[in-house]
Amino acid sequence: MAPLKTPLVPRPDLMSGKPSLIGLTREAMADALKEKGVPEKQVRMRVSQLWHWLYIRGVSDFDAMTNVAKDMREMLKAHFTIARPEIVEEQVSNDGTRKWLLRFPPRGAGRPVEVETVYIPEEGRGTLCISSQVGCSLTCSFCHTGTQRLVRNLTAEEILAQLLLARDRLGDFPGTDTPPGAFVPTGERKITNIVMMGMGEPLYNFENVKTALLIATDGDGLSLSKRRVTLSTSGVVPEIYRTGEEIGVMLAISLHAVRDELRDMLVPINKKYPLKELIEACRRYPSLSNARRITFEYVMLKDVNDSLEDAKLLVQLLKGIPAKINLIPFNPWPGTNYQCSDWAQIEKFADFINQAGYASPIRTPRGRDILAACGQLKSESERMRKTERLAFEAMMIAGHGEDEE
């Protein structure tokens, strides 16, 4: 299907400079309303109304809040926005994968920025991959996203807006329709799982990610189960502990090597937080069990990390940790020096790990025809151009978190 071009829906409010109510905690929303003159005795009720309309009904227009008095709606319109980001481009793969290029307004003296969000429909689940930063400060040598410098962190609003917009486009709010011919799971929800695996290192934007995920899992709103939300990190050890204690979602680790000297090269954050510290943080992650396993991502690089000796060391490294190991065939990008492991070698590697008692699915490439392919999300936000822009590989997204009942 041909991409839909920009903007699908004009968003004049985005450039107004008004603060958004999306992404605020209840306490912050209450403070914002009080500042604009809402009487103290009404604030709790007004916050409850807004929360319902934003996160249960999914409205993006104050006038749609039919049980809110007109003068209150006028005040809200004058001072706040709940607009979605602009959709620069929407693409739909032959396999049903959807990719949105979204534009957010400038912050301070900055410029508008663009990020990509990817939706993967699977049997019994629909997984949305969300970005946490524009660009990335990490320089993982096999990852195309790492070739773009970090522009800025996304706000809690911008992180959450990716979920709201995707639910809009998929007809996943009450009273809305799924697009004709769309691949979506059967059941009430089109988006059942979310993964923080888009652009950026989410644990380098901890507070905004925390706020967004706690709103996404709030039982009185969007109500996603924490067992169906997965946060992926390259190994920011102090914030792994905080993630377990303060957010409580599922954890995925971009591992990719089992020896420090190799991981220092592939995932340079390893120089700051080496394998011993990373694995200890994983062992101490709260509520670990066979039902709440940590996922370890392992990209298969020919003659680099794919030997049976690597497989043996991997099993030893993870001994005693309830874990699943996702094996990801490397998808080359222009300028890379790496190659994908031979398929026979990937299968040997997987068989060894399976025999050791670990699930080790080999991820099937998804969304290649729309360049939704692994470690390759790259936006050219700083230049506002889309040359060389690639989405990261959708096969890395699939299969995270608990299945639908």
Annotated binding residues: 136, 140, 143, 200-201, 232, 254-256, 331
Q: Which of the residues 90, 129, 374, 393 is marked catalytic?
A: 374
Structure letter (DSSP) for residue 19: P
- Mark the binding-site residues for S-adenosyl-L-methionine, compressed into ranges: 200-201, 232, 254-256, 331
Q: How far apart are CA 294 and CA 285, in angstroms?
A: 9
Q: Is 151:136 a contact under the CB 8 Å cutoff?
A: no
Pairing of strands 378-380, 294-300: unpaired
Alpha carbon dihedral 358, 270, 253, 225, in 10-degree steps, equals 150
For residue 316 the two structure tokens come to 């030893």
Q: How far apart are CA 373 and CA 366, in angstroms?
A: 7
Axis crossing angle, helix 40-55 with helix 26-35, rounded to the nearest 10? 130
Is 374 one of the annotated active-site residues of the chain? Answer: yes
Q: How far apart are CA 263 and CA 269, in angstroms?
A: 9
Q: Is 195:159 a contact under the CB 8 Å cutoff?
A: no
Q: Is 86:11 a contact under the CB 8 Å cutoff?
A: yes
User: What number of other Cβ atoms are within 10 A of residue 18's Cβ?
Assistant: 16
312: exposed, middle or buried (Cβ count in 10 Å: 0-12, 13-18, 19+): middle
- Report phi then psi at 210, rounded to 5: -60, -50
- Mark the binding-site residues for [4Fe-4S] cluster, compressed into ranges: 136, 140, 143
Q: How far apart are CA 271 and CA 141, in angstroms?
A: 14
Q: How far apart are CA 189 and CA 210, in angstroms?
A: 23
Residue 194's DSSP bridge partners are 128, 229
Nearest alpha carbon to residue 384 among 158, 134, 166, 208: 134
Q: How far apart are CA 318 and CA 28, in angstroms?
A: 41
Is 116 one of the annotated active-site residues of the chain? Answer: yes
Q: Which of the residues 86, 89, 90, 116 is marked catalytic?
A: 116
Give the number of C-alpha atoms closer than 13 A to the C-alpha of residue 70, restricted to the C-beta side. 0
The end-to-end CA distance of the chain, in Å, is: 32
CA distances (Å), origin 141, targets 138, 256, 263, 307: 9, 11, 10, 19
Residues with catalytic annotation? 116, 374
